[in-house]
Amino acid sequence: MPTAFRPADNPSPFRRIAASMWGRPADPSIYGFVDIDVSDTLRFVEQTRARTGQRITMTHIVARAVANAFAENPDLNAKVRFGGRIEQRETVDLVISVMRDGGRDLSAARVDAADTLDLAGLVDAVSAQVDRSRKGEDEDYEKSRGLLASLPWWLVRPLLWLTDVSSNELHLHLPKLGMPRDPFGTAVITNVGRFGIDTAFAPFVPLGRCPMLVLVTEVKDRAVVVDGRVEARPILRLCATFDHRIVDGAAAGRLAQRIVADVSQPGALALEAA
């Protein structure tokens, strides 16, 4: 008996976008992960929270480390336009994914010129946007999601194509229409550790045009070798997807070295800004 199908019941705005945006796999993605001993990092987070009252998280530390890595390697802070022209961004702009509606949907906190902020400044910038989004006070987000929710499914793909052309090819800045210029910036950072995930990789959003996606997973005790002895240490596994048109293996290694150094010893991030 043939399998029967029926329209999905009330899919979330994100699911409607995803179903309309992706076609057959054709993107040049490469994947990699690094395990980072975060023993000192966890102590730093606890001490900083107690001293400042800021709700600093591992995601903030990773974001600040990613900003440093791209500032140190500006040739990788690039995007592909017009079917093959590589162009460099002038600023390191990060997007941190934000869970909404109990995990049913996603929005984003964008931090422009993230490498010019110290860690405290980045925490404040992200927190302000997260609060606005979760309170429903992000007007641009609400308008764009409302528009998507009202469209029939067969119009979502043409709208996303128009968004891609206006935002990435023409570099128009139309946030009121849900079409900001270069919407995903340099890198997208998403925390999946809250769901108990310790290894996962994210797909590129076709209209994103960013060179790297980073998933911050759950910190878990793992066996590591320290001075010839096997010990249990808290390990953060950072999982990344790279656009191979911009980031090859050697370049990914350069990014990883700086990110690992900053995440494992984050004290300098509290004071450091470009």
Q: How does 153-181 read in b/e, with b if 16+ C-beta sit within 10 Å?
A: eeebeebbeebbebbbeeeeeeeeebbbe
Q: Is residue 87 part of a domain?
A: yes
Q: 88 and 197 share a domain? A: yes
Q: 176 and 245 share a domain? A: no
Number of domains in the chain: 2
Q: 195 and 93 share a domain? A: yes
Q: Is residue 254 part of a domain?
A: yes
Question: Sign of dihedral through CA atoms 37, 268, 254, 215?
Answer: positive
- Domain final position from 155, 180, 205: 180
Q: 108 and 191 share a domain? A: yes
Q: 220 and 143 share a domain? A: no
Q: 158 and 249 share a domain? A: no
State the average pLDDT over residues 12-36: 78
Confidence of residue 175 (pLDDT cuts 50, 70, 90): confident
Q: Is residue 8 part of a domain?
A: no
* CATH code of the domain containing 123: 3.30.559.10
Q: Is residue 205 part of a domain?
A: yes
Distance (Å, whole) CA 76 – CA 86: 10
State the average pLDDT over residues 161-166: 89
Q: 240 and 128 share a domain? A: yes
In the predicted model, is pLDDT for residue 69 greater than 50? yes
Q: Is the Cβ–Cβ distance between 64 and 258 less than 8 Å?
A: no
Distance (Å, whole) CA 219 – CA 232: 12
Confidence of residue 274 (pLDDT cuts 50, 70, 90): very low
Distance (Å, whole) CA 49 – CA 61: 13
3-class SS of residue 113: coil
Distance (Å, whole) CA 100 – CA 109: 12
In the predicted model, is pLDDT for residue 61 greater than 60? yes
Q: Is residue 272 part of a domain?
A: no
Q: Is the Cβ–Cβ distance between 74 and 85 less than 8 Å?
A: no
Q: 38 and 93 share a domain? A: yes
Q: 74 and 133 share a domain? A: yes
3-class SS of residue 8: coil
Q: 161 and 51 share a domain? A: no
- Domain final position from 127, 151, 180: 180
Q: 87 and 188 share a domain? A: yes
* Range of the structural domain that residue 167 is part of: 138-180
Q: 108 and 201 share a domain? A: yes
Q: How does 191-204 read in b/e, with b if 16+ C-beta sit within 10 Å?
A: bbbeeeeeeeebeb
- Domain final position from 123, 154, 180: 180
Q: Is residue 10 part of a domain?
A: no
Q: Is residue 21 part of a domain?
A: no
Confidence of residue 58 (pLDDT cuts 50, 70, 90): very high
Q: Is residue 20 part of a domain?
A: no
In the predicted model, is pLDDT for residue 271 greater than 60? no
